Each structure stands twice: as C-alpha cells, then as structure tokens.
Structure 1
C-alpha cells in the first residue's frame, strides 16, 4: 500500500486571525454572568465551551450558556473584523482536495461563515466541537479526522498554534508543527508564521 500524506489544520489562531474576536466574545459572555473576562477566557482557551461552562458556571443551565455564546459568535461571523493569515489562501488552494481537513474547537457553520467572508477554500471535511465527545487536548478530534479521511495517524501532519492542539496531535501519534507566535513545547517543528511554514507544508503534502 502506498503511503500518502494528509494535513490537518486547526482554524482560529492557525489559519484565521480571530484571537481578539474570541477574547472579546468571551469577555462579553463572562460579563453577562458577572464573571472576570480574563479568567473565563483563560479557561476557554483550554477547553470546549461545554467544559468551560461546567468549570466557571457549574450551577447554570449549559444549554442557556451555549445559546448565549452562539448568539455572540454568530453575530461576530456576520459583522466582526478578522482575516486569514498571510499565505493561508494560497496554501489551502495548493493542497489536494481529499488530503486535508479542518479540526476545530469551534462549530462548523461558524467556520464556514468566516471562510466564505475571507475567501478561504473549504475542505470536504470539518471536524468541529459538535462532532466529538472529547475536545483538544484529547487525541479524539484528530483521530476522527484521520479515520474519516482514510488516513493512518502516522501519515498526518497537524498544524496548530495552541498548546492544547499540539498535545492533541501528539497524543494521536501524528507529526505536529506549530505556527504563529511563540514556539509550542513538544511540536516537532515551529515556524514563526503560517506563511513561513506554507512551502514546507506543501512539500510534505506532495510526497508519496
């Protein structure tokens, strides 16, 4: 059997520059519950929304918490100011359509809305927060993406910007490269920007 290389991308902070948007939304969400925005945002960076709610507002109805977050994030998709990182559009357009996917802690409809607004090409597969029972840093999201692509974990390259995502990819037995910002401990390689990593990603994806 011929081995093929697959690329699995995180979205926010990796392909999409939406960090300030996320920070603003979580601060607004926290304010509705009388909580400190920085503390809530710190938890949200490490967990899926349902896990964040269980940590910061354990006595509140998680469905109501999620409904408010969805309201804030959907509004941001329509009106927020954000964009793709330099080189993202060219990188994604240069990958074989059946060899890459998005693995995100966000929700698919929101990712699609942002990609459409910024002109980024969409893959055939998006593994989002609703698709898994365990989010990053669990290996479950990346393992699910590999399974749906028909790929072996060892043939997958994960592109991430956050510690939880790096740990998720490593736990799944995949090669992990970190991009943007400071180097993530544990990643096999680090690039200061997505644009710097792009030619190396394309080269790896083209290898049999």
Structure 2
C-alpha cells in the first residue's frame, strides 16, 4: 500500500514509537515481566503474552485480579527503573544516523513508557533526544487511542496529515491511523494491518523517512 498524500509545500514531521522501533528492548521487557510474574507466583510466559497486548493496569486486571493494582504497578516500575540503570540496551541499526539527520523540531517520540526511562535509554545508546516526548503520563488515553499521536502533533504545531508515524506494534499503528496520519511499519517480518508502507528493518526505512521529512 502506498502512503497517503500530504500537502505539498508544508513542513513534514516524523513521530517515532520507541521500544521495538528505535530501541531493541524486547529481551528487557521479557525479563522485567518475568521477574514480576515470579515474585507474584505467576507463569512468566503467560503474563508476558498478556503484557504484549495491554497496558500494565489492564495486564494486572487479567493476570492478578485479586492483587492491588497500584502495588503491582509500583513493583513493576521499580523493576523497570532498575533495568534502565543496569540492563543491556541497543539501538536498532540506522537509528542514530536517522535521528541525527532529521531537522531539529521536525520529529518527536510517542511512547507508552515514561519519559525518564526513555531519556535513560537514549543516553545509554547514544541517541539524540527531540524537544517533544509524549509519554504515558502526558495523556489520559494510551495507544491504540489517537490521543498520544495527536498530542505530539499539537506540540509540534503540525497538522495530522503532515505527520508520518513509525511503528512496530499493532496498537501503535491503530493509534496513528486513528489520528489521521501516514503510518509506516518497521522491524517486523510482515506488515502490521493498516500500515501504508512496511519495511523489515529501520535501516531499510531510513532513506524513505528522510525523503518524507525533506518534502515541503
């Protein structure tokens, strides 16, 4: 599928998901959820499968309905913060060159994680940070709601139709589509449903992302 048309002559913007798109954090997420599950006497594999599809509070409601969700969340946050300090992270191939090549003010991060963890991971992987980061605390509705991507566009003073969303997860793809934006999928073997374009790796997508950003 080809990209939706955008308005010629107007500045273009790129909105990136973080985990799975710019930073390879799958093993970290699996480890954190595994430790959390074991501490609560639950099966790590089963818990992780639920966590992949839902936000933490929704995960707790499914896998530990008899536990205090705020206590569960606090324990998870402690594990995640420790992982940011001590875990092993790597940026996807091409991420650093791509982000450094984009014009400052023309891109943002839109994540279901929290900003302090994103900043920690970016420092550890050497990735540059944009001026706009929309995290879980910045919006009342997370992905797949359009709210996170619309919030990022508003902070950039960008029209949704002039924004390109780069995602790896179905919930993020739906979020971008519902926001009325171009959505490209990366780092997956098959294209997430609804994406306008798909690239198996971020490296392959990079020249096309730069070409989009340099329009207008």
Are 2:151 and 1:149 equivalent residues in the alignment?
A: no
1:121-168, Cα deviation, whole Å (9 max, x unpaired): 000111111111111111111111111111111111000001111111
Q: Which runs of 5 or more residues in structure 1 are unaligned?
A: none
Partner of 1:158: helix, strand, or coil? Answer: strand
Q: How does 1:180-195 map to 2 (within 5 A)?
A: 180-182=187-189, 183-195=191-203
Runs of 4+ residues over 4 Å off in structure 1: none
Are 2:75 and 1:59 equivalent residues in the alignment?
A: no
- Indicate if the aligned counterparts of 1:86 and 1:194 stay in contact, CA closer than 8 A: yes
TM-score (norm 1): 0.96
- Indicate if the aligned counterparts of 2:89 and 2:124 stay in contact, CA closer than 8 A: no
TM-score (norm 2): 0.92
Q: 1:95 is matched with which residue?
A: 102
Paired residue for 2:75, among 60, 68, 78?
68
Q: 1:165 is matched with which residue?
A: 172
RMSD: 1.3
Q: Which runs of 5 or more residues in structure 2 are unaligned?
A: 1-6
The offset of 1:57, in angstroms, is 2.0
Count, aligned residues: 208
